[in-house]
Structure 1
């Protein structure tokens, strides 16, 4: 592995010629490791946003290298072999994404002091806040209103809050995200999920003692930018580093949350699909059991009807044999035998012939009777046909009229 020794002056020239992230891709050291090396060697580094200004053609100030330094005077760096990890030892996903965002030449992460071509959401919020500032005291916390971005700041911090929000919105839109205002709340749409968004000036609790002791809350000039979705949240607050210089870190955290949302949604979909598939299978099994039972019950009924139809035909044949043996085959008996056999065909599930007089009767309904002999319309056919005593419809009308 080829190694190069850099003097303090050479390393200074190097870090002011290209970004630390770009240098970390060329040399086998992380950008954070390079930053620490520069600190040990007393080498000043460009401020955040320096390289974006360079790309935009803006004038920038270069910090001079102090000659008074008694620490390390040189560093030895090896060139990175193609295919090795981009950062020495690896970076956390959030820091890696943050560096990617900061090195994107298409993004302007610099928060200005005045609004330039503001987003439509910012224009509406500015109008609302300025209108309310005319009707309120200087130290009152102003609210942009339920129909606007959720910005709550005192009069002196309106412009700063709007500039921060405008820069953030433009960067997020450029990276494919969007915003929506619903039911009085502002939301960032990221990975098809909504995160509630608020930019507020925090307040300090003050106990006032006059005639009665009371508690007041006064705006303290510290801004807090927060995003929430159920148990997930991301935020940044003014501290040693102002919000203006924390946007890349905040955006990286939000986008990683977005990736988590995608994974959770995919897992939820898999669970839902599995649940629906199991429910479908259970329903199919239940329906199949119901169908099987219904079909078997019908099979049982059909077999009983078939057997009863066979018995019925045997009975009809026996009557015919008996009457023939006695010499009583009359026209009336012939008609009855034809009628009886048609009824047997109607009742037999294998024949299932039609019968105009029984078209509204289900043959299976007759199977529910405990005993066919209990029917009120039952005839003692053996005795009746032997004696010749029958009523219509067994006796044809033309025979009946001759009697």
Structure 2
């Protein structure tokens, strides 16, 4: 399961006890825990802190936990930490653990019968395809089309079909989905589609021409001989996703029939692994989106503050301009050299003061011809 670190709890722990005590709870060494705290932006006590505490000396106060601004992925782990009693135990996702436990119980052992009365539809189609199979480059019969992929010799055909039938029925009984994929049959486990294949490896050796071929060559006749010849190994393999999703093989000690439960567990391991990875990615994406939205909101507020400040500066400049105009007009009006003002001067004083009021942001609502947007027709 994907879990999120509790930063507040971890801060409380590392400031209440030495990291050597706290680290095993997280399955880490003391150095590993310090690195984790660094990634999570959690301050840790300075060197010598606990020696001062033991000696009764004054120490640094516990700092406050700041808002996390690092990579969102650092906040999560894919499973709960190992217990303090067993710090090296491997942690398994609970969903996978249930599958593995179920497959290990004796009463759930999958048994391949000697005879099949009613074939699974997918296997029935494969039986029909093997009546007139295609021959691969090894000379081995193989099913046609996009159904169940079976490539075995005639000697293993019956076994392969019975194993396939038993496996598919067991998977469906466990709640998994057997479906027709784009290219071949798939099994859907925990949302992941795994392609099934039954295969018989071949033994490769140098090609040995027949007596007839050698005689034809001795006569100077033309003939083509392949470089290799292939011999069926007699060992059956069952694979999911070409072996990446699990593979079982006949061995000297165990046949494929005895390992079907193991294959189910291997397939579940891969499927749950993809599921956990996707869950973690979804959480990281959501956290990254949250951090982005927080940053966008802060940027929006910052831009609004800048616009507000810019308007304030413009208003202050306009207020200063209006004051300068008024001061000049007052000085002009009170000039000792002018006892009487002409009509033109009086009009200038009136007009100038009106313009100062229009400029002054403290006198809103003043309308002037300068406010008009004049469009000259073409």
Structure 1 position 209 matched with structure 2 position 208: yes
Match of 1:234 in 2: 246
Tell me the distance in 2 between the aligned counterparts of 1:172 and 1:224. 18
Q: 2:360 aligns with which of 348, 357, 368?
A: 348
Structure 1 position 224 matched with structure 2 position 237: yes
Name whichever structure is richer in strand by fraction: 1
Contact kept in structure 2, 1:140 and 1:155, CA below 8 Å: no
Tell me the distance in 1 between the aligned counterparts of 2:340 and 2:141. 118
**Matches of residues 4-403 of structure 1 in structure 2 within 5 Å?**
96-100=101-105, 102-104=106-108, 109-132=110-133, 140-145=139-144, 147-210=146-209, 214-228=227-241, 233-239=245-251, 240-320=253-333, 326-328=339-341, 330=343, 336-353=348-365, 354-360=367-373
TM superposition score normalised by structure 1: 0.53
Give the secondary structure class of the aligned counterpart of 1:195.
Answer: strand
Tell me the distance in 2 between the aligned counterparts of 1:323 and 1:130. 124
Contact kept in structure 1, 2:245 and 2:266, CA below 8 Å: no
- How has the CA–CA distance of structure 1 residues 308 and 110 changed in structure 2, closer, same or farther, with 3 Å as cutoff? same
Tell me the distance in 2 between the aligned counterparts of 1:141 and 1:339. 105
Match of 2:56 in 1: none
Which structure 1 residue ranges, 5 or more long, are not aligned?
A: 1-91, 362-403
Larger radius of gyration: 1
- How has the CA–CA distance of structure 1 residues 310 and 181 changed in structure 2, closer, same or farther, with 3 Å as cutoff? farther
Tell me the distance in 1 between the aligned counterparts of 2:345 and 2:145. 96
Give the C-alpha shift of residue 260 in structure 1. Answer: 3.8
Tell me the C-alpha RMSD between the 2 structures.
3.8
Give the C-alpha shift of residue 97 in structure 1. Answer: 2.9
Contact kept in structure 1, 2:139 and 2:230, CA below 8 Å: no
Tell me the distance in 2 between the aligned counterparts of 1:270 and 1:356. 59
Give the C-alpha shift of residue 321 in structure 1. Answer: 5.0
Give the C-alpha shift of residue 342 in structure 1. Answer: 4.2
Of 166-175 and 209-218, deviating more is 209-218
**Number of residue pairs the alignment of both structures matches:** 261
Give the secondary structure class of the aligned counterpart of 1:222.
Answer: coil
TM superposition score normalised by structure 2: 0.56
Tell me the distance in 2 between the aligned counterparts of 1:145 and 1:295. 73
